[in-house]
Amino acid sequence: MNARLSRFRAVLFGTTIAIHIPFAAVVHDILARWGAGPVTAAVSTLAISGASAWAVRAGTARAIADTPRPWWRTWLFDLPYLWHWCACAFSFLSCLVYAAVSLPICAFYQTSKWPHEHLFTATYTAGLIVCGYGCTLRRWIVAERNITLHSPTLDPRLDGFVIAHLSDLHIGSFTPPWWAMRWIRRANRMNADIIAVTGDLVTSGTAFHADIANTLGALKANVGVIATMGNHDYFGDGEPLVSLLREKGITLLRNEGITIGKNGSGVYVAGIDDTWTKRANIDDALRERPTDTYCILLAHDPDVFDAAASQGVDLTLSGHTHGGQIALPLLARAVNLARLVHPYTRGLYTIGARTLYVHAGLGTTGPPIRLGVAPEIAKITLRSGRS
């Protein structure tokens, strides 16, 4: 674990230095316009870039064990800095695209007019606008997904069974409990039979455990609130969170399942533990499943869908990917960051009669930004019979 975190820090540190190259050009240009000499401009540019890299490295150390901080430090320093960091990444990637297009053209026409005079300033300014939206408004506005699923294996007495699905709340410094309570109130208004929460309740560490338990303890469903753990819930000792959630009346499933009854019938709801820390065991979760009973599996990681479908699970509910968190608008399902590592990234997928729903998440991980992917709450209504 420590070796993995050390590699992560090293990669982040190097990335931060690289993405500040265009920003250094912006600073150099501004200083030159003010009459600063070449040496002064170069030293100032290096100092700004170095300080930026150090700040992110220090921020990473805090993020490994997220702790409450004064609101003004989070919202007046940390968030603006990460907004700037994202703008630098936007500028860096934009410049790479510009170079890939422009350099062959310059070579063909035998001209050396590259880069464009205002390239770095323009891309960084555009980055501030786009990333400012992603760090603020896009994170705040929540979408409500209404999904109807038909199944011949669902008992007709359960026709209209409603599941409110939440995932990846990542409650912490950038998503404080008061922010998350808006989601809780939205979910409660759905009048769901069960509320399913598929992990990553924590950003990292244990300092927000009590706040998380109090927040989720406010969820209200007709039959019950059921949750599973995600990988971030073990970025620190996860056991205190398990105890706190259960004290609040939340059914936390860890490689086990229960039968939820309604109208004289029932569904079997199973939950597996975290795959990232190798705690998951789908066989144990399904061992007590009754025959001829509609089966729902809560699994933070959607990559388990193939195994779940092969074992006859009717509906798998997952999260983990955040829908990529950053995606291409209008093509978000196909073009998003999660597609680099996951086959199932967002929305509905089917294998035969088996269905997976991948929740786009509510909170964020890494830089607190969303682009092209709205935070969401899903309302899933089960219908008996074929559509």
Question: Do 22 and 109 fall into the same domain?
Answer: yes
CATH at residue 174: 3.60.21.10
Question: Do 131 and 156 fall into the same domain?
Answer: no
Question: Do 110 and 162 fall into the same domain?
Answer: no
- Stretch among 31-35, 53-57, 67-71, 181-185 having the lowest mean pLDDT: 53-57
Question: Do 314 and 351 fall into the same domain?
Answer: yes
Tally of structural domains, the chain: 2
Residues in the chain: 387
Domain end position, chosen among 103, 135, 167: 135
Mean pLDDT for the chain overall? 91
Domain end position, chosen among 105, 135, 165: 135
Q: Report pLDDT for 240.
A: 97
Question: Do 101 and 152 fall into the same domain?
Answer: no
Question: Do 102 and 215 fall into the same domain?
Answer: no
Structure token pair of residue 240: 């205190």
Q: Report pLDDT for 274.
A: 97
In tens, the pLDDT along 290-313 reads 988 999 999 999 999 999 999 999
Q: Report pLDDT for 40.
A: 73
CB proximity list for 154: less than 8 A, separation 6 or greater: 161, 267, 294, 314, 382, 383, 384, 385
Continuous segment of H or E residues that includes residue 14: helix 2-33
Which long-range contacts (C-beta less than 8 Å, at least 24 apart) are formed by 27-31? 29/120, 29/121
Q: Report pLDDT for 48.
A: 75
Checking if the pLDDT of 61 tops 70, the result is no
Question: Do 233 and 277 fall into the same domain?
Answer: yes
Question: Do 181 and 71 fall into the same domain?
Answer: no
Name the residue range of residue 227's domain.
144-384
For the chain, what is the total number of helices (H) and then of strands (E)? Answer: 11, 12
Domain end position, chosen among 85, 113, 135: 135
Helix 79-109 crosses helix 2-33 at what angle (to 10 degrees)?
Answer: 70
When pLDDT is cut at 50, 70 and 90, the band that residue 140 belongs to is: very high
The CA-based angle 343-326-74, given to 5 degrees, is: 130
Question: Do 313 and 200 fall into the same domain?
Answer: yes
Question: Which residues face 144 on adjacent strands?
Answer: 377
- CA torsion sign for 17, 18, 22, 28 is positive
Q: Report pLDDT for 322.
A: 98
